[in-house]
Amino acid sequence: MSGITKQTSLKSSPCASESDPPSIPKRRQELLKWNGWGYKDSKFIVNKDNHVEFTGERYQLSGHTLTLLRDWMIATIGISLDHKTPPQSEITAKDMPPPVRNEEFLADMRRTNISHTDDCQDRLFRAHGHTLAEIFTLREGRFKRIPDLVIWPINHNEVVKVVELACKHNVCLIPFGGGTSVSGALECPANENRMIASLDLSQMNKILWVDEKNLVAHAEAGIIGQDLERLLAKKGFCTGHEPDSMEFSSLGGWVATRASGMKKNIYGNIEDLVVHIKFVTPQGTMEKSCQVPRMSSGLDIHHFILGSEGTLGVVTEVTLKIRPVPECKRYGSIVFPNFEKGVACLREIARQKCAPASIRLMDNEQFQFGHALKPEAKSMYTNFMDGLKKFYITRIKGFDVHKMAVATLLFEGAKKDVDAQEKRVYEIAANFGGLAGGADNGERGYMLTFAIAYIRDLGFEYYVVAESFETSVPWDRCLDLCTNVKDRLHRECKERGIQFPPYITCRVTQTYDAGACVYFYFGFNYRGVQNPVQMYEDIEACARDEILANGGSISHHHGVGKMRKPWLRKTVGDVGLGAMRAIKEYIDPNNIFGNQNLMVGEPEDHHVNTVRNVVASKL
């Protein structure tokens, strides 16, 4: 590759309140796995004793051996340690499509001094998010289309400049934040013949100012969740926005996908947190003229931006609400005799509007999974199950270990408020047969959601494909939806001749006044299956059909991207889709922001695209 890489020497802008180096380097692959989730140093491996161990030092689980996990995987999903599927060791330049070069654009870019590169590994890293299909392609195949250039602007003005040039030379731009998309949103459309430039905002990672009077902070869109919280914490504040991907996902990404954080009960989802957005489009910058808590000014332009998934423009700066760091943070858990009782209890807690910062209800399968993640006896983990067995199961009969469900709780606030809230929640739970299950159990539940992304990579090593998907649903249909979607998944697996029992589990992960968010994990052992990714996607499509038939939504927070395009028309109707397209037509008539997510193009194309875009070499 010719060295057109240009580095700008500016370290941080003068108004930056912090001067930490960026947590994520430009060459992401130096810190992060190129073909899996998270940091290179952290992964689940099977060690010499044939036990699962988590490497590294970053996490609570790091360096621990999880003695129960191997047997759980063998028993639940039928893996065998003798049947491994290691990934291809690398994808090199020869396996990548050569870049499409728009020479005039490149010439103009060189004149701007904005950092950019056509290095093939940098391009590859920005060709995907973290859907099953994408990671599987990294492990087993190659992409038909990847970005032709990666650009690292360092401030709003540079973004404006890049967008101007892209418009001038008809170059397709795909904004890239943390790269954690699970909707195929980052995938390059295979039918895109123009040059595709990935607009990586990772270097725009500064908090520009903090306004303590109004309790808002203004930050650049590329800042990732953990940095935002850490930097604010130094000043005694937090945003409280904690999506499960917060280690890697970025502020701009949250806005562009309508993200949701696990503590939304206190802090709200991204749409509640946002006060102001600066949005660069081919027509110019779109923003409001004031920084007010609310206004009546016709259609809310923020709502064009929230969830636009990179189809209209790119978010460069965001003003967010902040809160003082809470005095007290406490985990908890409730054990219910069954999932039904748990759902009823969550519904009641939502009705009484006394939900803690986070409350999640795991079904029995997930509870068992969480249990399997318990490290070998170390003092910090009280042996909850044994305690439970001794105390609850024997003394209070009727708790079936194969039926019970666990709610995990996270309380935040002033100590006395937390005490009061805790008391009230456990009182309500008692009415539904729920028993307090201890803080450790709760904490482990939250750990599961961070660990599971890493565990999927372990599954890949042993013929397991797995993915999560989510939805939102009215309360009265919540239980039926869980039951029916699981049943549908089981049935589809059976009818497709999958040889091993699939792993299917769900949790009610958010509660609202009018409904809940339900999160599913689904994976299966694909030994003997011809095309596991295609099969997985077909089955997940069936599950999505079932979700919609059960009154659920296309997505609660993952977004539509390309994967869920087929359900968008059903969701918003012809007029809704037409209106979205009309906005696109005005803001971006030449489809500069051409990732073809959401309302752009017909969903029918998508399926063909993904199939075309992925050439599985091994299968």
**Which residues are marked as active site?**
519
Residues 451-490, one symbol each (x = binds another protein by CB under 8 A, - = not), give: -------------------------xx--xx-xx--xx--
- Kindly state the tokens that stand for 87: 């990934």
Interface with another protein includes 301 (CB under 8 A)?
A: no
Cβ-based nearer residue to another protein, 389 or 491: 491
SS3 512: coil
Cβ-based nearer residue to another protein, 100 or 577: 577
**Cβ 132 to another protein shortest distance, Å:** 24
**Cβ 81 to another protein shortest distance, Å:** 32
By CB under 8 A, name the one of 117, 471, 550, 609 that touches another protein. Answer: 550
Q: Which stretch binds another protein (CB under 8 A): 161-169, 288-296, 438-446, 542-550?
A: 542-550
Known binding residue 181? Answer is: yes
Contacts for 573 with CB less than 8 Å, ≥ 6 apart: none
Cβ-based nearer residue to another protein, 412 or 546: 546
Please, what is the Cα angle at 616 between 615 and 618, to 5 degrees?
145
Known binding residue 176? Answer is: yes
Interface with another protein includes 272 (CB under 8 A)?
A: no
Known binding residue 319? Answer is: no
Q: CA-CA distance, 562 to 565, in Å (whole number)?
A: 5
Q: CA-CA distance, 510 to 557, in Å (whole number)?
A: 11
Interface with another protein includes 548 (CB under 8 A)?
A: yes
Cβ-based nearer residue to another protein, 329 or 570: 570
Known binding residue 323? Answer is: no
Q: CA-CA distance, 458 to 466, in Å (whole number)?
A: 10
> What is the DSSP annotation of 30-72?
GTB-SSSSSBTT--EEE-TTS-EEE-SSSSTTTT-EETTHHHH
Interface with another protein includes 541 (CB under 8 A)?
A: no
Q: What are the beta bridge partners of residue 150?
A: 117, 198
Q: CA-CA distance, 372 to 67, in Å (whole number)?
A: 8
Angle between helix 364-372 and 69-77 (nearest 10): 140
Q: CA-CA distance, 5 to 354, in Å (whole number)?
A: 54
Known binding residue 260? Answer is: yes
Count of residues near another protein by CB under 8 A: 15
Amino acid letter, residue 592: I
Interface with another protein includes 491 (CB under 8 A)?
A: yes
Interface with another protein includes 30 (CB under 8 A)?
A: no
**Cβ 359 to another protein shortest distance, Å:** 25
Say if CB 221 and CB 310 are below 8 A apart: no
Cβ-based nearer residue to another protein, 401 or 549: 549
SS3 230: helix
**Cβ 534 to another protein shortest distance, Å:** 20
Residue with tokens 């102001």: 276
Say if CB 400 and CB 441 are below 8 A apart: no
**Cβ 573 to another protein shortest distance, Å:** 11
Say if CB 525 and CB 78 are below 8 A apart: yes
Helix, strand, coil percent values for the chain (each to nearest 5):
35, 20, 45
Q: CA-CA distance, 195 to 281, in Å (whole number)?
A: 18
**Cβ 552 to another protein shortest distance, Å:** 8
Known binding residue 258? Answer is: yes
**Cβ 355 to another protein shortest distance, Å:** 24
By CB under 8 A, name the one of 570, 590, 608, 618 that touches another protein. Answer: 570
Residues in 112-131 at the binding interface with another protein, rule: CB under 8 A:
none
Tell me phi and psi for residue 205, to 5 degrees. -125, 30
User: Residue numbers of the site for another protein (CB under 8 A)?
Assistant: 476-477, 480-481, 483-484, 487-488, 491, 546, 548-551, 570
Binding site per annotation, positions for FAD: 175-181, 257-260, 309-315
